[in-house]
């Protein structure tokens, strides 16, 4: 997944959490049999179009998402654990993110324009 992270740190944390919570919901649907394809092993998220800082990347392991979706861990623990995987994206990851952004378009999901 490729996304544009907000400049505000608090908003960026909410965005990352929203992505990870969405992934946990999808994994729960896989486990309930709602999808016929193979369950992914993890979700890699790569920031694109960072203005000031180097783009970052993080991942959420499916096993962690299952624990959160199954209420074995709370939201704070979930965020803390996938947050530990955050790092600067490699040049190859940056190139991949830019190519995906060019190929698939750029849709802003959050924050929405209140106007």
What pLDDT shows up at residue 30? 93
- The CA distance from 69 to 80, in Å, is 15
Q: What is the DSSP letter of 87?
A: E
Domain coordinates of the chain in residue numbers? 2-104
Please report the pLDDT score of residue 105 as a whole number. 65
Block residue for tokens 């992914």:
40
| pLDDT value, residue 108 | 53
Paired tokens of 25 = 């919901």
- Give the span between the Cα atoms of 51 and 4, in whole angstroms: 10
Q: What is the mean pLDDT of each run of 10 residues along the chain (115 residues)?
A: 61 84 93 92 83 81 95 93 91 86 65 47
Positive or negative, the CA dihedral 65, 70, 4, 39 is: positive
Write down the pLDDT at residue 3. Answer: 54
Structure token pair of residue 110: 């959050």
Go through 95-110 and write b for each residue having 16 or more CB atoms within 10 A of its CB, e for each that does not: ebbeeebeeeeeeeee
Residue 3 three-state SS = strand
pTM of the full structure: 0.76
State the distance between the two ends of the chain, measured CA to CA, in whole angstroms. Answer: 27
**Token pair for 80:** 């803390």
């Amino acid at each position: 997944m490729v996304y544009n992270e907000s400049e505000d740190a608090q908003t960026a944390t909410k965005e990352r959490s929203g992505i990870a919570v969405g992934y946990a919901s999808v994994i729960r649907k896989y486990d309930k049999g709602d999808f016929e394809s193979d369950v992914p092993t993890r979700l890699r998220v790569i920031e694109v179009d960072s203005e000031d800082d180097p783009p970052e990347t993080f991942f959420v392991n499916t096993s962690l998402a299952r624990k959160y979706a199954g209420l074995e861990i709370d939201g704070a623990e979930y965020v803390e654990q996938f947050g530990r995987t955050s790092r600067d994206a490699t040049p190859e990851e940056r190139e991949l993110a830019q190519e995906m952004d060019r190929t698939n378009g750029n849709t802003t999901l959050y924050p929405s324009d209140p106007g």
